[in-house]
Structure 1
Amino acid sequence: MTDLATFTVPMPSVRAADVPIPSVRSAGAPPGAAADFPAYCGDLFGELARADQRRWGEVYVRGLLDVPGRKTPARISEQVLGRRAVQQIQQFVNQSPWACGPVRGRLARQMARAFRVEAWSVDEVVFTKNGDRSVGVARQYAASQERTVNCQLALAASLVGHAGSVPVNWRLVLPARWDADERLRGQAHLPEEERCRPRWAYVMEALDEMLDEWTLEPLPVLADWRGESDPDPLLRGLEARGLGYVVRVAPHTPVVLPRRPAAVPGCRGTLAELAAHAARHTERTSVTWHDPVAERMRHSEFVTAPVLLRCEPAPGRGAGAAPRPRLLLADWPYGRPRPRGYWLTNLPARRLAEIVPLAQLGRFSEEALGRMHEEFGLGDFEGRSFRGWHHHVTLASAALGFDMVRQQADERALSETGA
């Protein structure tokens, strides 16, 4: 993992440390938030080396929470501080050498205390851009939007449960064009070790940080991998780490078909063909579950079948114990010509009534990331640097996290009042 604290760039003529440490105005704060917010930020930024860094972190997160419309440094400083401090805020976000990892780890632990976390969700996040100089920008295919966009692409790892979701870890996906263009890399202050990699490698790096450095409790991983031609490296990486998973995949995903003809040894097919074979030879399983997003009961029929993709060593870890069998889960109601969705999981088939609602929790992470764009300025960062991008998305996650903490506190207060 890149240590952002060791990457240095030239400092502007006026530094945050050259001005008095600001006091955050609470006039625009939501009701009941003023007493909690400083303690929340004090915990998140407690490991930052300098007092001015800790206070500018509080200023920026408050701006992301309270400033209406676009969250620019000018608007944040004017509405939070009552004066312009644009250069100081830009310096804190773009250039100040504070490491994101400890802040993200503290955020994850706060969220684990704030609500019951049931899974980790990995989602693609699209940052649409007009130019071509911001770090990682390229005209590239965004699977989540099913189109080619001039954008930055990121992967967010979120803690998710029935109470909601908060992204706690981020990776910026670098296009291949950024590997060899030294001018672009220099302008964005891109660390030498940051290179284009397969998406599963970014996911493994983020999960290893959560497991090994933050020591979070391992939970099932949810992911939408329909945009990837081969889910096998991702699945093997998760299996090597002993993680359960429910991964949505495309119907054309290649698999080994059962009962292959003797004349065609090693016959390969697709998940769609495997689901059709299973539907002809096994009974569908009826599952009724509570939809956590729509808040209603749903009913469907599912076809299940063992899955064989490949037999290779798992990437990034030792051989360890034999992985649990993989299972195809196809949502295929009677009367429909084909399934509505395909998932691969290593969770036991007998727990189908738990796996189905677990898979739906990924919709909470999508909803939370959408809110971050609309309410907390996730896409408002105007800088171009690798460090600045990581700082901004970390602080945007902190803003959503405080909203979650506040929501949970309000619900507890209402419950106690009602009692």
Structure 2
Amino acid sequence: MSTSVAWEHELQSWLEPFLTHLHHPARRRMCPLYVAGLIGPGERKSLQPIAARVAPADYDQLHHFVAVGPWDEAPLDAELLAQANRLVGGLEAILVIDDTALLKKGTHSVGVASQYAGVVGKKANCQSLVSLTLAKDEVPVPIVLRLFLPDTWIRDPERLQHAGVPETFWVERSKPEIALEELQRVMQAGVSFGAVVTDAGYGISAPFRQSLSALGLLWAVGIPRIQKVYPADVRLGPAPHTRGGPRKTPIPDAEAVAAEAMLATSSWQRITWRRGTKGPLRAKFAAVRVRVADGPTVRLQGRTGQHLPGDEVWLVGEHRTSGERKYYLSNLPPDTSLKQLAALIKARWVCEQAHQQLKEELGLDHFEGRSWRGLHRHALLTLIAYLFLQHLRSRTATGGKKKGRRAPTTTDTAGHSAHAA
């Protein structure tokens, strides 16, 4: 049996737990075809090229299955979470929260707007998806992709209706709010992980950080260099008497300063957090215990809207060899070593690797439909395809029952397939 036939045959049996939730025979037949089309050879992974490769006579049925068919995605979502948890879940795992942009040329695709796209490092015409990635031992499994709707869409009900956006989502929701909702869904599904990691796009939000703590989670998040923090030993005391009488709100005995200023005189250590393909990955790190200025707002030093000290956490700085400087907050315990802090912070890179593979090799950004339902179904099926490939790699790495039969790697089985010729 050829390698290609081997993985296609195994895909059908591996998908059975998903297919049990698709009760219509046509859907049970279309799902494996679409997933195989995402995994298999071919430069484009949009509907028409997939149909041409895997089901030339069934384009209409494949289109109906992905774009308009009245089936519920929730059971497949739940199965994805359960299988991902079995593969890479556990207290040693991390959950990375991020977003990824799908570049577009037109203006009709749901959620498309001029907004920041990390893939090009600037604003671009794109869709933006909030992502959650479960990872363990540097093995990522993306488990959530949810579209963010910019305010230009939220203010246009006719546009929302035309794109088939459910009315539940016709309200403004920030990316941190979407991420928190999905995080709670993931936790309720029983997905297990030891810490949450994210960049400054989410870490800048005080309600987001506070919600993570309220959920009992350990976390490490990026922050801007100007994030205000207090010394860990700051104390609240009575304010000076004023003409109007004593103030009731206690005030801190130290002033909040920017994160970069707090670390300016710290001792920086060169830390190696892992070995990459080109050698050890190193940077200089420093850390100090602080209390974040995200408590209740008061009037301080004659200025209104100043924040009192919040929880005590780690403030971590990173000086990269490129000269770039980054700053982070983490609620890991006070006895955590600098190397442990650095390792958790830098573990976020696995989601960037996963995003790249989802797009370049499985066609996440190739979907040409314009609807909310079609985009999210395409994204879900792309996640299922990625999980299948990680399942094969994991079995090969641990010497599974089919030892000796080479499982397809991402580059073997996707757009740059060894079988494409």
Q: How does 1:141-160 map to 2 (within 5 A)?
A: 141-142=116-117, 145-160=120-135
Query: SS at 1:351's partner residue?
Result: coil
Q: How does 1:317-356 map to 2 (within 5 A)?
A: 325-332=312-319, 340-352=325-337, 353-356=339-342
Residue 187 in 1 paired to residue 162 in 2? yes
In structure 1, the partner of 2:372 is 386
Q: How far has the Cα of 1:69 moved from its partner?
A: 0.3
Residue 109 in 1 paired to residue 86 in 2? no
Deviations 1:355-397 (A, max 9, x none): 3222222111101110111010100111111111110100011
State the alpha-carbon separation in 1 of the partners of residues 166 and 355 from structure 2.
27
In structure 1, the partner of 2:148 is 173
Residue 89 in 1 paired to residue 62 in 2? yes
Q: How far has the Cα of 1:337 moved from its partner?
A: 12
Query: SS at 1:243's partner residue?
Result: coil
Paired residues of 1:211 and 1:218 also in contact (CA < 8 A): no
Paired residues of 1:156 and 1:169 also in contact (CA < 8 A): yes
State the alpha-carbon separation in 1 of the partners of residues 203 and 138 from structure 2.
33
Query: SS at 1:32's partner residue?
Result: helix
1:290 to 247, 250, 274: 274
Structure 1 letter corresponding to 2:328: W
State the alpha-carbon separation in 2 of the partners of residues 291 and 49 from structure 1.
47
Residue 232 in 1 paired to residue 209 in 2? no
In structure 2, the partner of 1:308 is 292
State the alpha-carbon separation in 2 of the partners of residues 204 and 247 from structure 1.
14
1:272 to 243, 253, 260: 260
Residue 206 in 1 paired to residue 182 in 2? yes
Paired residues of 2:103 and 2:126 also in contact (CA < 8 A): yes
State the alpha-carbon separation in 2 of the partners of residues 93 and 166 from structure 1.
22
What number of residue pairs does the alignment pair up?
Answer: 374
Q: How far has the Cα of 1:301 moved from its partner?
A: 3.8
Over 3 Å counting, the alpha-carbon distance change for 1:339 and 1:67 in structure 2 is: closer
Q: Can you give the 5+ residue segments of structure 1 that lack an aligned partner in the other structure? A: 1-25, 314-322
Paired residues of 2:101 and 2:118 also in contact (CA < 8 A): no
Structure 2 letter corresponding to 1:98: W
Q: How far has the Cα of 1:97 moved from its partner?
A: 2.3
Over 3 Å counting, the alpha-carbon distance change for 1:63 and 1:338 in structure 2 is: closer
Over 3 Å counting, the alpha-carbon distance change for 1:292 and 1:243 in structure 2 is: farther
TM-score, normalised on structure 2? 0.79
In structure 1, the partner of 2:12 is 38
Paired residues of 1:293 and 1:364 also in contact (CA < 8 A): no
In structure 2, the partner of 1:406 is 392
Q: How far has the Cα of 1:121 moved from its partner?
A: 0.6
Over 3 Å counting, the alpha-carbon distance change for 1:248 and 1:50 in structure 2 is: same
Over 3 Å counting, the alpha-carbon distance change for 1:416 and 1:309 in structure 2 is: farther
Share of identical aligned residues, percent?
24
TM-score, normalised on structure 1? 0.80
In structure 2, the partner of 1:15 is none
State the alpha-carbon separation in 2 of the partners of residues 190 and 215 from structure 1.
28
State the alpha-carbon separation in 2 of the partners of residues 293 and 220 from structure 1.
26
Residue 54 in 1 paired to residue 40 in 2? no
Structure 1 letter corresponding to 2:291: V
Moved more, 42-51 or 173-182: 42-51
Deviations 1:111-161 (A, max 9, x none): 233346610011111011111111111112335643111111111101112
Over 3 Å counting, the alpha-carbon distance change for 1:361 and 1:54 in structure 2 is: farther
Q: How far has the Cα of 1:402 moved from its partner?
A: 0.9
State the alpha-carbon separation in 1 of the partners of residues 24 and 378 from structure 2.
18
Residue 222 in 1 paired to residue 197 in 2? yes
State the alpha-carbon separation in 2 of the partners of residues 187 and 167 from structure 1.
29
Deviations 1:161-192 (A, max 9, x none): 22421211122111011122122112101111
In structure 2, the partner of 1:6 is none
Structure 2 letter corresponding to 1:304: V
State the alpha-carbon separation in 2 of the partners of residues 112 and 294 from structure 1.
31
